[in-house]
Structure 1
Amino acid sequence: MTSKAFATSALLLSLNLLFFTVVSSTHVVPCPANAPKFQPKQYPPVIPTCPTDTLKLGVCANLLNDLVHLVVGTPPKTPCCSLLGGLADLEAAVCLCTAIKANILGINLNVPVALSLLLNYCGKNVPHGFQCS
């Protein structure tokens, strides 16, 4: 009978040790209030610029005029689209936005529509969230 009592008490002791180990391991000690907090490194915002001379984009006026007035036939892509060809979408949008805002194109336009028309015609896209400012 002593061996049965010993086995039972050994089992209860093991279960108690296991229970208290599991319970105590879930207790999380909070960090002290004066502990340094992780701060991600802040980078200055990137302001896109136009790598092309915006005065050269005056050739886009004829293309835009043809696109707006829906002239029958396909307007030539070469002068305007070749200037935008090597640029990324954002750079092309910034260049055209600068040209439109400076009124280099010589016509008063609805800026978002004109920008979208020219970029789409030249195989570029208006970047998501881009606003001509």
Structure 2
Amino acid sequence: MAPKAAQLTLALSLLLLLAQSAQGRRNCPVDVLVLRACLSGPGGTSLLHAGQGGQECCPLLGDLVAFDAALCICTALHGRTIAPDIDQEVPISLILNGCDMSVPTSFQCPQ
């Protein structure tokens, strides 16, 4: 009996440890390179500079809640990815509004 109790205790401890470490991190569930390419537009022309709000990219964000969508856009615009041609000063609200979402209250891109 004692070995089973020890195994159960160890298993529960590992589950708690994994749950705590997962809560501290938030990652974008969308492929950021694909999102960045979409925001860049064809031929590297920024959709955002062409007067479009990035609506073409909304299907990539479709099932996300506004917080996760904003996080993904931050990662795409400010992350160190391959295409540095997107204006990083573009308001996230412009993109989210084009997708019928709004920026969560007091949201700021992680540094």
Question: TM-score range, shorter-chain basis?
Answer: 0.5 to 0.7
Structure 1 residues 119 and 70, CA gap change in structure 2 (3 angstroms): same
For structure 2, list consecutive stretches of 5 or more residues without a partner in the other structure.
1-19
Counterpart CA distance in 1 for 2:105 and 2:31 is 24
What residue identity is the alignment partner of 2:33? L
Larger radius of gyration: 1
8 A contact 1:48–1:90 mirrored in 2: no
- What's the % identity of the aligned pairs? 35
Aligned CA RMSD, in angstroms, stands at: 3.0
TM-score (norm 2): 0.60
Match of 2:38 in 1: 59
The total of aligned residue pairs comes to 85
Offset of 1:69 from its aligned partner? 4.0
Q: Flag the structure with more relative contact order, 1 or 2, with Cα contacts below 8 A and sequence separation at least 6.
A: 2
TM-score (norm 1): 0.52
Match of 2:87 in 1: 108
Offset of 1:93 from its aligned partner? 0.4
For structure 1, list consecutive stretches of 5 or more residues without a partner in the other structure.
1-42
